Amino acid sequence: PSHHTLLMTGAAGGLGQAMRARLQANCQVLRLSDIGAMAPAQAGEEVVQADLADADAVKSLVAGCQAIVHFGGVSTEQPWGPILQANIIGAYNLYEAARIHGVKRVVFASSNHVMGFYRQSEVVDALSPPRPDGLYGLSKAFGEDLSRLYFDRYGIETACVRIGSSFPEPKDRRMLASWMSYDDLHRLITACLTTPVLGHSIIYGTSDNSVSWYDNHLARHIGYRPQDSSDTYRDAVYARTPEPDLSDPAVQFQGGGFVKIGPL
């Protein structure tokens, strides 16, 4: 295990629940937090209910951990109020707490929606300028810049993982390009927690899909090698989904349906 106490925020969410058992292998103590209710603590776990927008609560949450996997916050397009509280203020509170308590490494669950207004005919890498597809994507872009500031000023290393679509299986044709298996997500988090020098890095969270919009050549130092692929689901997904309407923005842009959710 690379860290004695590892904090995972957002433990009640989809990815938090999927990573909870897997991350046991990465630490002696897995501290879990969420604003909502979580399953009771098992051996080797601590469960702490906390609102990311509450600075004092976040400070106590972070005390005593060596690394953080930050899944907490709003994970879909929402009105400005909840995005501001959970993703903007919440991310600030988390990094302030990390600075105060000397936490040196964070894995930040960013999102493909930071880049959602690139076309599905384009390939993006870590240096492509952000083109968020809504307030949610914008809040993730803020988290990425915030973590860069805390790296440049205080040396807190962060991997901004622009997760594509991490679900048990790709749900539609778009996800054949954006899909990431839970096992690959865990492999990527493990690589981020254990690579000797992480720095401030942007990496796309994706499996080894033949059709892809993401180029991770600038994140080779993390040492992530995906082992799964959406290719095994391709035929089944094509068979059960309709021919795409190419005039639909949800089909033209990488962010899919998110590019149409509004008004902002």
Cβ proximity to ligand 15L, 79 vs 199, nearer residue: 79
Paired with 100 in beta bridges are none
Cβ atoms of residues 239 and 173 within 8 Å: no
Compute the distance between CA of residue 125 and CA of residue 215 in angstroms, rounded to an integer.
5
136 is catalytic: yes
Considering only residues 187 to 226 of the shown chain, the ones binding ligand 15L according to CB under 6 A are none
Q: Which amino acid is at 20?
A: R
Question: Comparing C-alpha atoms, which of 70, 72, 66 is closest to residue 26?
Answer: 66
Cβ atoms of residues 161 and 140 within 8 Å: no
Cα→Cα distances 163→15, 114, 115, 116, 179, Å:
10, 10, 11, 12, 9
CB of 79 to ligand 15L, least distance (A): 16
Coil, strand or helix at 201: strand
CB of 147 to ligand 15L, least distance (A): 17
Which residues have CB under 8 Å from 175's CB, separation 6+?
A: 164, 165, 167, 230, 237
Interaction pattern, residues 30-59, with ligand 15L; x per rule: CB under 6 A: ------------------------------
Is 75 a binder of ligand 15L (CB under 6 A)?
Answer: yes
- Residue from 92, 118, 136, 204 carrying the catalytic annotation: 136
Cβ proximity to ligand 15L, 65 vs 107, nearer residue: 107
CB of 237 to ligand 15L, least distance (A): 14
Considering only residues 240 to 259 of the shown chain, the ones binding ligand 15L according to CB under 6 A are 256
Residue whose C-beta lies closest to ligand 15L: 165
Considering only residues 79 to 138 of the shown chain, the ones binding ligand 15L according to CB under 6 A are 111-113
CB of 256 to ligand 15L, least distance (A): 6
> What are the catalytic residues?
136
Which residues lie near ligand 15L (CB under 6 A)?
Answer: 75-76, 111-113, 165, 178, 256
